[in-house]
Structure 1
Amino acid sequence: MHVMIRVLLADDETMIRAGVRAILSTAEDVEVVAEAGDGHQAVELTRRHRPDVCLLDIRMPRLDGLQAAAELARTAPETAVVMLTTFSEDEYIAGALGSGAAGFLLKAGDPRELIAGVRAVAEGGAYLSPAVARRVITHLDSGTLGKRATARARTDELTDREREVLALVGAGLPNAEIAARLHVVEGTVKTYVSQILARLGLKNRVQAAILAYEAGLVRDGE
């Protein structure tokens, strides 16, 4: 029996919501529990339904997706936020990552990415659309998102085991898979991740993954 992943879908376009719902309905372990037409409604419905994942369009009336994501990070941190948008410009990516989102998907992407992203963040992981991931990695390689020396100095504060966990987070692995690789229970991994975020002053796993790349803990292709 599947453990159902409860999803809230927020987009101001009814047809887009219908299309996303149709894609998610093909996954036996995903259930859309509510829909919202603007950011304010998305926040209210998330507080009411407490879904595992909230899919947010970036451009919405009343409260845009980035503002809604930041609000949910404060008031419903147990719900993982994934930004869903037609835009791939750098400012949107930076804004989404800075708002506390655990994932970023492009509406023009492969429908399988949508289901994969929902599953990944529901399991405590992070997910970037491949097109977005390539853009982020390119910036990391060029140094525009931070200098490697600075990142290494920050990660040097961690224990060897914490750096190992951070590298696996950077590779996009969920807690269960990290636990299997390190031969520990999943609860131990959750504790490590919480400690890493706290020690490094990071908001979420996406920011941790970026730092892992900056510090050279993860190689392109992993």
Structure 2
Amino acid sequence: MKALIVDAEELYRLSLREVISVSGNFHEILEAGSEHEFLARTAHHADFSLIIVHPGSLGEDGEDCLKLAKRLYPDAAIVVILDRAGQAAMVPNGVPTVHRGASVSQIVMTIRRALKLPLDGFGTVASQPAAPNVRRMMDMPAPRSGDSSLIARRPDSDIDFSRLSYRQKQILAMAADGLPNKEIAARLSIAEGTVKAHMHAIFKVLGVQNRTQAVIRYGAAGRAQAARNQEMAYATAS
């Protein structure tokens, strides 16, 4: 199984990694500390079994990331970390939540319920003392959260990326990795204005209005292609 932690606080992400590692048989645990990093992960990974989102740490981007996680990974188990009771209103129906100050045992059990894993005999293991730094990190003061009004669309994976030039594909891939226009320009040794012009051309080809939508569609197309490749490999093997 593969898990993704979406949380702006590095220390809290480190503590969650330890908690997740004892919650199930995870072969890979990835992290995203911002919306850009989250989008970059979605562009390259299609098979998350678990996504833990801490919206309050991400400010205005928190609710957007939660909605995107739900739309992009409908089969994944999603767990939301809440800083206060009032934040429950942003959580989609059926998505389990756990308070930021919950015990390690409570978080482990919430994760296992979300994954539909057996709970019998696991509470004892989860109740064992965590690494010395885990409780301190879990009890750190929570950041202030912001409001969000952006509602993301479900991405369309049926996009013909062959209509993009090689340079535009380079820029889109870098944008999916979370790089800003200035850094993309520096890496490609071109003017920042040129990057912006390419981005606007990319928007037109993909039929989107902004960078976030372009990256989402890029990620969706990549996952669709991976699925097609897997089907072809299976058909050949048969």
TM-score normalised according to structure 2 size: 0.43
Task: Tell me which structure has the larger Cα radius of gyration.
Answer: 2
